[in-house]
A and B are shown apart, each in its own frame.
Chain A
Amino acid sequence: AQTVTQSQPEMSVQEAETVTLSCTYDTSESNYYLFWYKQPPSRQMILVIRQEAYKQQNATENRFSVNFQKAAKSFSLKISDSQLGDTAMYFCAFMKHELTGGGNKLTFGTGTQLKVEL
């Protein structure tokens, strides 16, 4: 079974600064996907960024980027130029590759509450 660990329950950052959220995972799979989802106060979860394990290049989406360390089973999210709208709960998630029965089953971490302050 896969596990996803987010060891930072809460974090805060000043507007325009950079913040990094940590995530580690445990799996015996070699092919899988990793995700960061954002849950704002409206509660609706939104996909922020996605990484395929077989790709060595770290994914980037505008101000959001990841540091994927496969050997260390680490997948951190960096938010640059933080904005007030980034205030949300951030969830790290794991999914096995569909060819190895991953289907659509996402395993989520417990989340990190990020607060962006003026």
Chain B
Amino acid sequence: DAGVIQSPRHEVTEMGQEVTLRCKPISGHDYLFWYRQTMMRGLELLIYFNNNVPIDDSGMPEDRFSAKMPNASFSTLKIQPSEPRDSAVYFCASRMGTTVVGELFFGEGSRLTVL
């Protein structure tokens, strides 16, 4: 079975550019999460969806960040405009609501470098 698929795996961009990160959750999972990992702050939850609806976006750092989930099999995290401090690894994770509480299935992450 395919796991959570993220793209791109690596992205290098210049400050001010728009960045779009993509995620395909595991089929049948009804929760989708976006996390950010940095050395300074560790893993932070940015936003999560349930049945394509954003439930909690309190972790989204500022208005430059937006996330969408137009259907059950696709989500995007967009940063516009990007800044050097946005450099991090962004993880997407999914789970099925009926499975073990707290067991998230993570993708391999998208490493973003903003110059």
Interface residues of A (CB under 8 A from B): 33, 35, 42-47, 50, 91, 93, 95, 98, 103-106, 108-111
Cβ contact within 8 Å between B48 and A44: no
Q: In the complex, what residue of chain B is closest to A95 when comparing beta carbons? A: B102
Given contacts A45-B106, A104-B95, 12 further A-B contacts (CB under 8 A): A33-B101, A33-B102, A42-B108, A43-B109, A44-B109, A45-B93, A47-B102, A50-B100, A50-B102, A104-B31, A106-B45, A109-B42
Cβ contact within 8 Å between A103 and B55: yes
Cβ contact within 8 Å between B43 and A105: no
Cβ contact within 8 Å between B102 and A35: yes
Q: In the complex, what residue of chain A is closest to B43 when comparing beta carbons? A: A108
Cβ contact within 8 Å between B106 and A91: no
Of B43, B45, B108, which contacts A44 at CB under 8 A?
Answer: B108
**SS class of chain B's interface: helix, strand, loop or mixed?**
strand
B76 to chain A, nearest CB (A): 20
- Taken together as a complex, chains A and B put the C-alpha atoms of A74 and B29 apart, in Å, by 32
Q: In the complex, what residue of chain B is closest to A42 when comparing beta carbons? A: B108
Cβ contact within 8 Å between B102 and A111: no
Q: Give the residues in chain B near A95, CB-CB below 8 Å.
A: 101-102
Q: In the complex, what residue of chain A is closest to B107 when comparing beta carbons? A: A44
- Taken together as a complex, chains A and B put the C-alpha atoms of A91 and B3 apart, in Å, by 20
Q: Give the residues in chain B near A103, CB-CB below 8 Å.
A: 55-56
- Taken together as a complex, chains A and B put the C-alpha atoms of A104 and B96 apart, in Å, by 11
Cβ contact within 8 Å between B104 and A45: yes
Given contacts A104-B31, A110-B42, contact A93 B102 (CB under 8 A): yes
Cβ contact within 8 Å between B3 and A106: no
- Taken together as a complex, chains A and B put the C-alpha atoms of A47 and B3 apart, in Å, by 14
Of B42, B48, B56, B101, which contacts A108 at CB under 8 A?
Answer: B42
Q: Give the residues in chain A near B45, CB-CB below 8 Å.
A: 105-106
Q: Give the residues in chain A near B3, CB-CB below 8 Å.
A: 44
Q: Give the residues in chain B near A43, CB-CB below 8 Å.
A: 89, 91, 108-109
Q: Give the residues in chain B near A109, CB-CB below 8 Å.
A: 42
Cβ contact within 8 Å between B33 and A104: yes
- Taken together as a complex, chains A and B put the C-alpha atoms of A95 and B31 apart, in Å, by 16
Cβ contact within 8 Å between A105 and B108: no
Given contacts A44-B3, A104-B95, A110-B42, contact A98 B101 (CB under 8 A): yes
